Chains A and B, each alone.
Chain A
């Protein structure tokens, strides 16, 4: 079956612009996660969605970052007024119900802020 898909695969933007990153989880997976992979910080958790519950936003680095998940499926991560330090690979993952189950990762969106 289809895995987690993300788009775009690459994004180059100018400092100060807004960007939207999209994630399509595996069908039937109720848990969805966003992570960021950067050279200086390794792999960091950003946000977690579980079904219709309020998301866990504890990993978002600033209020420029936000995410939503529509209809319990597709998720969009939005970065407003991008900064150069936002350059990273943004990874989306989904799991059946909770984080103790296997998380399946998408290929990531490589973001470069000039």
Chain B
């Protein structure tokens, strides 16, 4: 089956620190990969995505590269800000079979000034 495993949180960093949130997946078929973010009091929104191997998704200073050989899609940011505090979800979907997003368990990130 399809599944996503995320780095367990919560993660607490200081402003301007380097961020990595690990995400690995298992999938039958060729998945598309996503990072969604949920800011406090807000709904889920797409942060970035990649649809094929070696693609790099990027947005708001965040990046993630689709690594087929290691079945990973780690989220990185070079210098985090207090406003990045949120819950981050890694997710996948495949065109074949059930049309749905399969989410990781989420990682709560807190950035201290």
Contact = CB atoms under 8 A, between A and B. Distances in A.
Contact of B101 (A103, A106, A107): A103
A58 to B, nearest CB: 6
A35 B101 contact: yes
Interface residues of A, number: 23
Interface residues of B, number: 23
28 contacts: A33-B99, A33-B100, A42-B104, A42-B105, A42-B106, A43-B89, A43-B101, A43-B103, A45-B100, A45-B102, A48-B99, A48-B100, A58-B98, A59-B100, A91-B43, A91-B44, A98-B95, A98-B99, A99-B100, A99-B101, A100-B32, A100-B94, A100-B95, A103-B46, A103-B101, A105-B45, A107-B42, A107-B43
The 3 closest A-B pairs by CB, nearest first: A45-B100, A43-B103, A99-B99
Interface of A: 31, 33, 35, 42-43, 45, 48, 50, 56, 58-59, 91, 93, 98-100, 102-108
